[in-house]
Amino acid sequence: MKSVYIHIPFCNDICTYCDFCKMYYNCDLANKYLISLNNEIASNYKGELIETLYIGGGTPSSLSIMQLKKLFTIINIFNLSQLKEFTFECNVDSLDYDKLKLLYDNGVNRLSVGIQTFNNDILKVLNRKHTKNDIINIYNIARSIGFNNINLDLIYGIQDIEVLNDDLNNLIKLNPEHISCYSLCINPNTKMYIDNKKQINEDLDYKMYSIIKKRLKEYNHYEISNYCKKGYESKHNLVYWNNERYYGFGLSACGYINNYRYDNTKNMNEYNKGNYIREKYIISNEENIKYEIMLNLRKKYGINKREFYDKHNINIINYNNISNLINENKLIENENNVYISERWKYKMNSILIKII
Amino acid sequence: MNINNIRNFSIIAHIDHGKSTLADRILEYAGNISERDKKDQILDSMDLERERGITIKLNAVQLKYNYNNEEYIFHLIDTPGHVDFSYEVSRSLAACEGAILVVDATQGIEAQTLANVRLALDNNLVIIPVINKIDLPNSDVNSVKRELIDTFGFNDEEILLVSAKTGQGIDKLLEEIIIKIPSPKITDDRLQALIFDSIYDSYKGIILLIRVVNGNIKIGDTIKMMANNSTYEVIELGVYTPISKSKDVLTSGEVGYLCAQIKKIDDIVVGDTITHNKLSAVEPLIGYKKMKPMVFCGLYPIDSKDFEDLREALEKLKLNDSALSYEPETSKALGFGFRCGFLGLLHMDIIEERIEREFNINLIATSPSVIYDVYLTDGSNINVENPTKLPDRQMISRIEEPYIYTNIFVPSDFIGSVMELCQNKRGNYISMDYIDDKRVNIHYEIPLSEIVYDFFDKLKSYTKGYASFDYDIIGYKANDLVKMDILINGESVDALSIIVHKDFAYKRGKIIVENLKEIIPRQLFEVPIQAVIGSKVLARADIKAMRKDVIAKCYGGDITRKRKLLEKQKEGKKRMKTVGSVEIPQEAFLSILSMDERK
């Protein structure tokens, strides 16, 4: 156990595609929430050394300066002497110099900024309140303060190919250490879904994915939707993909401790009453192997054969269909790893369901 | 038991005209039901019946009713209302002397009212006409009366007004049953009992529902089935009240059940006559006319391990549904299954649902077909009920298909829509009867094969649900028919072959391939779908190769949810059939039914 995720469910504006657990920012509500969050952490954290900390949302940067300060005192419950990565999620319009400086001074060493696109018209469709210039300004301020590990989120499938290429030009020019790219997914309970907006067809989706992959060739495509410069993989997210344990605190947060995974409640009243956990899933050894395969294969180098054997006492090559899939060149085996071949990466579900 | 105090009757009605509610009310007034046993629509005992609100299997109940200080025994024999089950109606009617004809005061005469009255008259029954639901604000008693008088020739005075819901008029109805319906007549002293239904019970074996026409039957008697001379010793006798109540003897005129540890399903023929082994009756009673199945489809277990279970399920269902037929068949696409014959589409639907529900077998049903009469060039003639079995075109001199004659009851506003529909279904207009100034009965001759597709649904939507429909099979006519095959990835999928009229083949083919293109998910490679006649391609659509099948986002908060998603995808795959390396969902096999393009 070396990782903690903390969920801040507030946003100043609701994006038309977002299906995460979120609500409009309200000062009193947020104050109350921080008290509950403090209680949850105090009653469940067992004092482990924490190496990665991730504050996500919602929009954590929607909190006021006072509330952010409060949040940082809460975080001091953790034993952070070995903290390696401290990520803070933000969006452009809720950031300014003072907030960024506060984050920096309190140990945040990785920013994750949801920019989505540089196209002002499309930003409006997404109900993002920032513009292309705002992105560039905030990015430069963050740099000037000293942030040297910045992730930018890009959405594709909302713009046409020309705009996508523009976005990629702008992105490459900013030269962030890390880029996450997701095709727009229109989920139920989002404004776009209610407005009956249609998702792009999978041919165009794949084409855009291929363009992005090609344009970001200087980056390491280390997970299906994630690219980074050498050495800048997200340590926190790798905990998930390596099927390691982590705490999740806050409304709707999920965690994996001991032999179970858990989902916290999405109901603020319940949460404030101290009924944090909504559901627990006991993970048997057999289930754990399936989770591990599903998560590991998201990574460029997939499953480490040795580590897999040490953990489960099973040779991964002998597991279910793995060797057949290697013969079919859908999986690649090298000295240390088994991973999904480049051609099959974007169709990996069809491989996973043959294994797990 | 004084035979003069026995009354055997059925209730006949169009669907939803309130037959089951009326039966409940009669049961209540005759005092048989305690509050505890009271469930709505007691005679509809199958879950499926209660859910769909229709009666499928007949049921017989004995009631005691006091009238003028005398005790009368009523046997109320339930009948199904739907056209597909007219066979069952005639079975129940054969065990009766009278019938209550129920017509909804808000609807008037409908297609099945007509059909049921005809069956009752065929069986020489006394009919008591009843207008039901008179308590409803939109009831129109006078015009419904007019319809009954004009259509069937009843007198104004003999038509009873009833509300089964409130109980209004029920006493009068019970009185009429006693006065008008004759008691059963004894014609012989030797035992003759008609088997009008049978039920399988895992403890008691096969239970027979019988009407004793002549003689008596006692526990311990050795009885003989007249159709095949098999003999049994009677172990249990009784009546349903509606709870089963055992008795030592059933006398002539009575309706009840009989158990004799019968295990061999083949020994029992519904419609057969039971007599004593010694002192046998000379002749059996007139049985039932054997109903011929008219609609056929293949039923296949999704899991091939279930094949034997499916056979057993069909065997048990056939026990009290002799109109069901089945024969093993194999399909390249679907493996081992059965070619099953049904009286009509609803019958098919119900059987499929009962197999899935009562026997827990997941099924794939192929598209329904009728029996074609195929004349070969060598002068011989064969019946084809499975399009795959149609011989080569060179060997065929002509193909004839069954035709029906329709009774479509509809408000006159919809005449145009109904005619348009019938025309599209290759119908020939025959005539139109005006029931009154607002409603007509439209007669067409239409190929049965057109009805088995989407005729019912279409009729409903074309008439905003106002039409009622019934039909008679009238014989065969030659048409320019051809077999159309569907190739998926170059391989003919036998379960998708259909027989179509040549002039309609192009349109059907185009719709089918387009529908299949929507239903079959993208595969790892491009898959062409073609509709062909012989080697001629009529229509083609290509399913593009799959490009994306990935969970894009998977972080700490998504993991268990994404794992479930994969599990679901895996389960979905299991329910598909693989034909020539293409995975086809079940839905595809029925999509061929639809004449519309999917939205």
pLDDT for B470-499, tens place per residue?
A: 888 899 999 999 999 999 999 999 888 999
How far apart CA A87 and CA A254 sit, in angstroms, is 17
DSSP secondary structure string for all residues of B173-223: HHHHHHHHSPPP----SS-EEEEEEEEEETTTEEEEEEEEEES-EETT-EE
Nearest Cα residue in chain B from A249: B557
Spatial distance between the Cα atoms of A89 and A295, rounded to a whole number of angstroms: 22
What is the spatial distance between Cα A323 and Cα B157, in angstroms, rounded to a whole number? 86
Chain B contact set for A348 (CB, 8 A): 549-550
pLDDT digits (tens, 9 = 90+) for B105-115: 998 988 878 87
Distance CA B184, CA B469 (A): 34
* Among candidate residues A118, A140, A136, A130, the one with its CA nearest the CA of residue A92: A130
- The ipTM assigned to this model is 0.94
Compute the C-alpha angle A236/A238/A242, nearest 5°.
130
pLDDT recorded at residue B435: 82
| B591 pLDDT higher than 80 | no
Whether B563 sits inside 8 A of A291 (CB atoms) is yes
At A254, list the tokens.
């999920």
Would strands A260-264 and A277-282 be described as parallel, antiparallel, or unpaired?
A: antiparallel
CB B403 within 8 A of CB B340: no
Instruction: Report how far residue A240's alpha carbon sits from residue A224's, in angstroms, rounded to the nearest whole number.
Output: 14
User: What is the spatial distance between Cα B42 and Cα B240, in angstroms, rounded to a whole number?
Assistant: 12
The answer to whether the CB of A172 falls within 8 A of the CB of A164 is no
Compute the distance between CA of residue A79 and CA of residue A75 in angstroms, rounded to an integer. 9
Q: Are B337 and B299 in contact (CB under 8 A)?
A: yes
Instruction: Report pLDDT for B266.
Output: 76
The answer to whether residue B36 scores a pLDDT higher than 50 is: no
β-pairing, A247-249 with A3-8? Answer: parallel
CA B567 to chain centre: 38
The H or E element containing residue B494 is none
What's residue B31's pLDDT?
62
Nearest to A298 among B546, B554, B566 (CB): B554
**pLDDT of B354:** 86
- How far CA B585 is from CA of B78, B250, B522, B564, B575, in Å, comes to 40, 54, 11, 20, 7
State pLDDT tens for residues B442-476: 999 999 998 887 788 788 888 887 888 888 889 99
Q: What is the pLDDT of residue B270?
A: 78
Q: If pLDDT is split at 50, 70 and 90, which confidence band does B269 have?
A: confident
Query: Is B548 in contact with A237 (Cβ distance < 8 A)?
Result: no
Is domain A3-241 in CATH 3.20.20.70, yes or no? Answer: yes
Is the pLDDT confidence value at B438 over 90? no
- What single-letter amino acid sits at A70? K
Chain B stretch 124-143, residues whose beta carbon is closer than 8 A to a beta carbon of chain A: none
**H or E element in which residue B40 lies:** none
The SS3 call for residue B93 is helix
Give pLDDT, residue B197: 80
DSSP state of B425: T
Amino acid B58: pLDDT: 46
Q: What separation in angstroms does the CA of A28 have from each of A36, A67, A276?
A: 13, 10, 20
Judged by CB atoms closer than 8 Å, whether chains meet at B566 and A349 is answered as yes
> CA-nearest residue of chain B to A200?
B548
- A347 closest CB neighbour out of B548, B554, B569: B548
For residue B571, CA distances in Å to A345, B508, B517, B564, B567 come to: 22, 32, 21, 10, 6
Closest CA to A288 of A261, A251, A254: A261
Expressed in percent and rounded to 5, the helix, strand and coil fractions of chain B are 30, 35, 35
Q: How confident is the model at residue B347 (pLDDT cuts 50, 70, 90)?
A: confident
Residues 6+ apart with CB under 8 A from B291: B87, B322, B323, B343
- Secondary structure percentages of chain A, helix, strand, coil, to 5: 40, 25, 35
CA A9/CA A158 separation, integer angstroms: 25
Q: How much is the pLDDT for B57?
A: 46
pLDDT at A255: 97
**B80 preceded by cis ω (within 30°)?**
no
Q: Which residue of A has its CA nearest to B566?
A: A353
Confidence at B599, pLDDT banded by 50, 70, 90: very low
Helical (H) or strand (E) element with B359? none
Contacts of B546 in chain A (CB under 8 A): 202, 347, 350
Chain B 516-555, residues with CB within 8 Å of chain A CB atoms: 522, 524, 544, 546-555
Task: Tell me the CA distances in angstroms from B108 to A98, B20, B275, B300, one per residue in order.
Answer: 80, 18, 43, 42
Cα–Cα dist B50/B401, whole Å? 36
B278 interfaces chain A, CB cutoff of 8 Å = no
Ramachandran quadrant class, B534 (left: phi over 0; alpha: psi -120 to 50; beta: rest):
left
Nearest CB among B524, B556, B573 relative to A353 is that of B573
User: Above pLDDT 70, what percent of chain B?
Assistant: 90
Distance in angstroms (rounded) separating the CA atoms of residues B102 and B160: 10
Which token pair is A280? Answer: 């627990």
**Structural tokens at position B311:** 């056979």
Q: Does B564 touch chain A (CB under 8 A)?
A: no
Each as own residue / partner, the long-range contacts of residues B230-234 (CB below 8 Å, 24 or more positions apart, any chain) are: B230/B264, B230/B267, B231/B277, B232/B260, B232/B261, B232/B262, B233/B260, B233/B261, B234/B258, B234/B259, B234/B260
| Touching B: A residues 230-289, CB under 8 Å | 237, 239-241, 246, 248, 252-256, 261, 263, 281
Q: How far apart are CA A337 and CA B379, in angstroms?
A: 71
Rounded CA separation A94/A348 (Å): 37
- What token pair was written down for B236? 């249990």
Q: Determine the distance from the C-alpha atom of residue B488 to the mean position of all C-alpha atoms in its chain, rounded to a whole number.
A: 34
Q: State the CB neighbour count (10 A cutoff) for residue B253.
A: 24
What is the rounded average pLDDT of the residues B420-429? 94
A89-123 b/e (C-beta count within 10 Å ≥ 16 → b)? bbbbbbbeeebbeebbebebbbbbbbbbbbbeebb
| Residue B241 or B440, more confident | B440
How is chain A split into domains, by residue range?
Answer: 3-241, 303-356
Instruction: Provide DSSP, B273-301.
Output: EEEESSS--SSPPP--PPPPP-EEEEEEE
- The predicted structure's pLDDT at residue B290: 63
Residues of A in contact with B547 (CB under 8 A): 202-203, 205-206, 346-347
pLDDT in tens, chain A (356 residues): 899 999 999 999 888 888 887 899 999 999 999 999 999 999 999 999 999 999 999 999 999 999 999 999 999 999 999 999 999 999 999 999 999 999 999 999 999 999 999 999 999 999 999 999 999 999 999 999 999 999 999 999 998 999 999 999 999 999 999 999 999 988 888 888 888 888 889 999 999 999 999 999 999 999 999 999 999 999 999 999 999 999 999 999 999 999 999 999 999 999 999 999 999 999 999 999 999 999 999 999 999 999 999 999 999 999 999 999 999 999 999 999 999 999 999 999 999 999 98
Question: What's the pLDDT score for residue B43?
Answer: 53
On whether the CB atoms of residues B183 and B194 are closer than 8 A, the answer is no
pLDDT in tens, B222-232: 999 998 899 99
Region B392-412 average pLDDT: 92
The share of chain B scoring above pLDDT 90, in percent, equals 45
Which chain A residues have a beta carbon less than 8 Å from that of B566? 294, 349, 352-353, 356
Among A21, A224, A264, A349, which would you mutate to test the B interface (most chain B Cβ atoms within 10 Å of its Cβ)? Answer: A349
Closest Cα in chain A, distance from residue B570 (Å): 6
Which positions in chain B touch A7 (Cβ < 8 Å)?
A: 557
Predicted confidence (pLDDT) at residue B208 exceeds the cutoff of 60:
yes
Mean pLDDT confidence for B80-98: 67
B533 contacts: CB under 8 Å, gap ≥ 6 = B482, B483, B484, B485, B505
* Phi-psi region at B379: left, alpha or beta (left = phi > 0; alpha = psi -120 to 50): left
State the pLDDT at residue A116.
94
Portion 119-148 of A in contact with B at CB < 8 A:
none
Is B560 near chain A, with CB under 8 Å? yes
A5–B556 C-beta distance less than 8 A:
yes
pLDDT score recorded for residue A24: 92
Chain B residue nearest residue A255, CA to CA: B556
The answer for residues whose C-beta is within 8 angstroms of residue B9's C-beta and 6 or more apart is B74, B75, B76, B77, B96, B97, B98, B99, B100, B177, B181
Residue B288 pLDDT > 70? no
Q: Collapse the DSSP code of B473 into the 3-class scheme (helix H, G, I; strand E, B; otherwise coil) and give the result.
A: strand
Cα dihedral sign, B29-B32-B37-B41: negative
CA separation for the pair A328, A316 (Å, rounded): 16
Residue with tokens 């994630």: A226
